[in-house]
Chains A and B, each alone.
Chain A
Amino acid sequence: MEPIIKVTGIGKKYNITHHKAGYITLRDVLSNIFKNPFDFLKYKAKEMVGLEKKEEFWALKNVNFSVEKGEILGIIGRNGAGKSTLLKILSQITPPTTGEIKITGSVGSLLEVGTGFHPELTGRENIFLNGAILGMKNQEIVRKFDEIVKFAGVEKFVDTPVKYYSSGMYVRLAFSVAAHMETDILIIDEVLAVGDSEFQKKCLGKMEDITQKEGKTILFVSHNMTAIKQLCNKCIWISKGNLKMSGSTDNVVGAYLNAMPDKPEESSSTTIDQNISQLHGTRFTNIDISNTNGDKVLQSDDRLKIKLHYNSDNENQIDNARIVITVASESSKNTVLRFDSNVTEESFSNKIESSGEIVCETTDSINLMDGTYLVDIDFLIDGVSVCYMQGIRKFEVETSLKNYNYKNYPDKTVCDYITKYNFKLK
């Protein structure tokens, strides 16, 4: 049988540009032309004959794979490996530089929970708006409306503006709309494992349901190996833009976990093991984890604050920097929080000083159960991990029953991508 998705030689190139504010301004371009007209002409001429080489970065290179109908394909890989780029190409958000993809059937993609949700609009209005943005027909939404509301469990609040929703309700509603899309292929990025574990089970169940009963095909990206193992029968592993391995989930996940760097021994609070992988001579000199008041032991309703001091041997400013912090429960090893400077609403400046301090702070309470949590920190430059530290820090959460928001998170054992956070440069 013809595969439903056939990916042949897909590559995606980004030109790394070095401009001050992360984007070009017309003022700079014009003043450059007027100040140095000859340099500008020389540059243009060189560019035309291909002498002037731009700095290039291949986010994906020659990726080939195919997916059969009814399969759930897991896509795994480290931060910056190119997983999200691949999904964006498959969803037609960005075109590939090379290669071709043949897709038979309609595609629905869920790269973010609640894309296009408007806080001022009610649940009902947002279902229609979000459904339309995701490509659902009006009739389709009308037909499935009750089912969507019931699945999300927001029957009582359907005419309340979503700005009054708890984050749990918000995310359940958003997921529910997407799960009811009538497309042949569903592309899901890291958003499945949201909300409480009960809802996550419901989501996983729904995913299995729609592949088995309705014959849909799902492509699923996650850092959560438990979910991948539970859901996917086949898996591909992407590493540094290349397809490193594909095959049965057990084999690929096993190989992936084996390749992860070993966890360093518990490190003391001020010095950091210097032997961790370092490129560009980038390192963290101090990592400080506390709540917003500076207490080292956190409460469930505290906000988390992570201060990172870093320096690098670079003399110049660093372009295209990205910080990914993941917090995993020590007992279950499941990721419970993930902060990615590429996914914050407030933009994290792309050009940062060669040394300084980065502060990541949640704007919501963390809502974590009591226990010990491990923190991984990944520093990426131009999509390449230059300093990756797994389990580099631990912190404790204590909880008194009255502080814990059981309504929203009866048992938060899975990753929560909805705790809002921001990154700041100091």
Chain B
Amino acid sequence: MNTPTTTIRPKKLFSFADLKEVWDYRELLYFFTWRDLKVRYKQTAIGVLWAIFQPLLTMIVFSIFFGGLLKVPSDGVPYPIFVYTGLLFWQFFSTALSDTSNVLIVNQAIITKVYFPRLLLPLSTVTTKFIDFIVAAVILVGMMIYYGYTPNLAGLLILPLLLLITFMASVGLGLFLASINVKYRDVRYVLPFFIQILLFVTPVIYPAGILGKHSWILALNPMMGVIQSARAALLGTTVLNWLLVTISLLATASLLAIGIYTFKKTERYFADII
């Protein structure tokens, strides 16, 4: 029989064995996600509807104030569907980001008592938010039928890529914030403010076009490329800009690399400093 051998040494650097380990523990990833969903839906009376209410209400308020009263342009499509497309991706990103940053502190009791690859916790948080995204997307489908939009085939094909970028961007930035949040506990007080600012520099409530020729600066924010492309693909607001998608992809890759590096560097000591 093949018995696994473990050697415990003072410090372990990042290796591909870590990725294999995450794969070996994939069942736990499933259970963490399942727990988060189950508990949330058990605790709130409206359960699964919660994932819909949040973006729906935000959409209504934004449509009244920005679309109706302020007359924010919306690339020629009705403002509600324009803003909802943006909000859908934005809420996936922002809720995943804020929950991931706190995930180590919230699960402190488990971290100090059991060993498992710590990477599972942020991954499961983002997966939970992804499921919320799917639920809230139902509203978008309804709105597309109501307003009579049919996405083109290319548009549907690029959606998984956009989701992957959003997923990876929130994991990357989330890992980074989670690691420094363990060490500096006041980070979490700054975070909501930081996310609020991000909302305004991302074209969620306005079209990227109003930025004119300086819009390339904002392209470094991966969510700009994602939201812009999602609108192009689903609503045909603009032509799909592949350069923008590539920039988003590269920015996400760097975020992910920085996030994993920081996380791995501090991971082994979480239990000591948490």
By a CB distance below 8 angstroms, the chain A residues around B212 are none
List residues 92-142 of chain A with CB under 8 A from any CB of chain B.
Answer: 92-107, 109, 111-112, 115-116, 118, 120-121, 125, 128-129, 132-135, 137-138
Please encode chain B, from 1 to 17, with 1 for each CB lying within 8 Å of some chain A CB and 0 for all others: 00111111111100000
Complex Cα distance A120/B7, Å?
38
Chain B residue with the shortest CB-CB distance to A119: B39
Known: A90-B8, A112-B113. A118 touches B27 (CB 8 A): no
Query: Among A20-28, A42-50, A192-200, A260-268, which stretch is in contact with chain B?
Result: A20-28
Complex Cα distance A96/B190, Å?
34
CB distance from A143 to the nearest CB of B (A): 14
Query: Among B56-64, B167-175, B181-189, which stretch is in contact with chain A?
Result: B181-189
Interface check A14, CB cutoff 8 A: yes
Interface check B71, CB cutoff 8 A: no
Interface check B43, CB cutoff 8 A: yes
User: A26 is contacted by which of B5, B113, B114, B187 (Cβ under 8 Å)?
Assistant: B187
- A residues near B, CB below 8 A? 14, 21, 23-27, 29, 88-107, 109, 111-112, 115-116, 118, 120-121, 125, 128-129, 132-135, 137-138, 184
By a CB distance below 8 angstroms, the chain A residues around B187 are 26
By a CB distance below 8 angstroms, the chain B residues around A104 are 3, 5
By a CB distance below 8 angstroms, the chain B residues around A97 are 10
Complex Cα distance A23/B268, Å?
18
Chain A residue with the shortest CB-CB distance to B181: A26
Question: Considering the complex of A and B, which 8 residue pairs feature the smallest CB-CB distances, nearest first?
Answer: A26-B184, A132-B31, A101-B8, A25-B186, A92-B115, A103-B6, A115-B113, A94-B271
User: A121 is contacted by which of B38, B185, B190 (Cβ under 8 Å)?
Assistant: B38
Q: Are B6 and A184 in contact, CB atoms less than 8 angstroms apart? A: no
Q: List 19 A-B contacts (CB under 8 A).
A: A23-B273, A24-B183, A25-B186, A26-B180, A26-B186, A29-B184, A94-B271, A95-B8, A97-B10, A101-B7, A103-B5, A104-B5, A105-B4, A112-B109, A129-B31, A129-B34, A134-B114, A135-B116, A184-B3
By a CB distance below 8 angstroms, the chain A residues around B183 are 23-24
User: A95 is contacted by which of B9, B35, B43, B111 (Cβ under 8 Å)?
Assistant: B9
Interface check B54, CB cutoff 8 A: no
CB distance from B190 to the nearest CB of A (A): 8
Complex Cα distance A89/B268, Å?
11
Chain A residue with the shortest CB-CB distance to B42: A120
Known: A14-B272, A109-B115. A116 touches B110 (CB 8 A): yes
Interface check B150, CB cutoff 8 A: no
Complex Cα distance A166/B31, Å?
25
Q: Are A116 and B10 in contact, CB atoms less than 8 angstroms apart? A: no
Complex Cα distance A115/B109, Å?
7
Complex Cα distance A29/B268, Å?
23
Interface check B201, CB cutoff 8 A: no
CB distance from B13 to the nearest CB of A (A): 12
CB distance from B33 to the nearest CB of A (A): 11
Complex Cα distance A107/B6, Å?
9
Chain A residue with the shortest CB-CB distance to B183: A24
By a CB distance below 8 angstroms, the chain B residues around A25 are 184-186
Chain B residue with the shortest CB-CB distance to A92: B115
Complex Cα distance A104/B3, Å?
7
By a CB distance below 8 angstroms, the chain B residues around A21 are 185
By a CB distance below 8 angstroms, the chain B residues around A125 are 38
CB distance from B187 to the nearest CB of A (A): 6
Known: A94-B268, A118-B39. A106 touches B4 (CB 8 A): yes
User: A93 is contacted by which of B9, B30, B109, B271 (Cβ under 8 Å)?
Assistant: B271
Q: Are A133 and B110 in contact, CB atoms less than 8 angstroms apart? A: yes
Q: Are A89 and B8 in contact, CB atoms less than 8 angstroms apart? A: yes
By a CB distance below 8 angstroms, the chain B residues around A134 are 114
List residues 142-173 of chain B with CB under 8 A from any CB of chain A.
Answer: none
User: A105 is contacted by which of B3, B11, B116 (Cβ under 8 Å)?
Assistant: B3
User: A116 is contacted by which of B114, B115, B184, B269 (Cβ under 8 Å)?
Assistant: B114
By a CB distance below 8 angstroms, the chain B residues around A92 are 6, 8, 115
Q: Are B272 and A96 in contact, CB atoms less than 8 angstroms apart? A: no
By a CB distance below 8 angstroms, the chain A residues around B218 are none
Q: Are B4 and A111 in contact, CB atoms less than 8 angstroms apart? A: no
Interface check B215, CB cutoff 8 A: no
Complex Cα distance A96/B185, Å?
25
Q: Are B114 and A115 in contact, CB atoms less than 8 angstroms apart? A: yes
Chain A residue with the shortest CB-CB distance to B29: A132
Chain A residue with the shortest CB-CB distance to B34: A129
Q: Are A121 and B35 in contact, CB atoms less than 8 angstroms apart? A: yes
Complex Cα distance A89/B11, Å?
12
By a CB distance below 8 angstroms, the chain A residues around B43 are 120
Chain A residue with the shortest CB-CB distance to B272: A94
Chain A residue with the shortest CB-CB distance to B184: A26
Chain B residue with the shortest CB-CB distance to A185: B6
Please encode chain B, from 33 to 70, with 1 for each CB lying within 8 Å of some chain A CB and 0 for all others: 01100110011000000000000000000000000000
By a CB distance below 8 angstroms, the chain B residues around A96 are 8-10
Complex Cα distance A29/B186, Å?
11
Interface check B137, CB cutoff 8 A: no
CB distance from A57 to the nearest CB of B (A): 12
Please encode chain B, from 196 to 233, with 1 for each CB lying within 8 Å of some chain A CB and 0 for all others: 00000000000000000000000000000000000000
By a CB distance below 8 angstroms, the chain B residues around A89 are 8
Chain B residue with the shortest CB-CB distance to A133: B114
By a CB distance below 8 angstroms, the chain A residues around B35 are 118, 121, 129
Complex Cα distance A112/B108, Å?
13
By a CB distance below 8 angstroms, the chain A residues around B272 are 14, 94
Known: A26-B187, A100-B7, A107-B6. A95 touches B27 (CB 8 A): no
User: B10 is contacted by which of A95, A112, A118 (Cβ under 8 Å)?
Assistant: A95
Chain B residue with the shortest CB-CB distance to A96: B10
CB distance from B35 to the nearest CB of A (A): 6
Chain B residue with the shortest CB-CB distance to A90: B8
Complex Cα distance A95/B7, Å?
11
List residues 14-32 of chain B with CB under 8 A from any CB of chain A.
Answer: 25, 27-28, 30-31
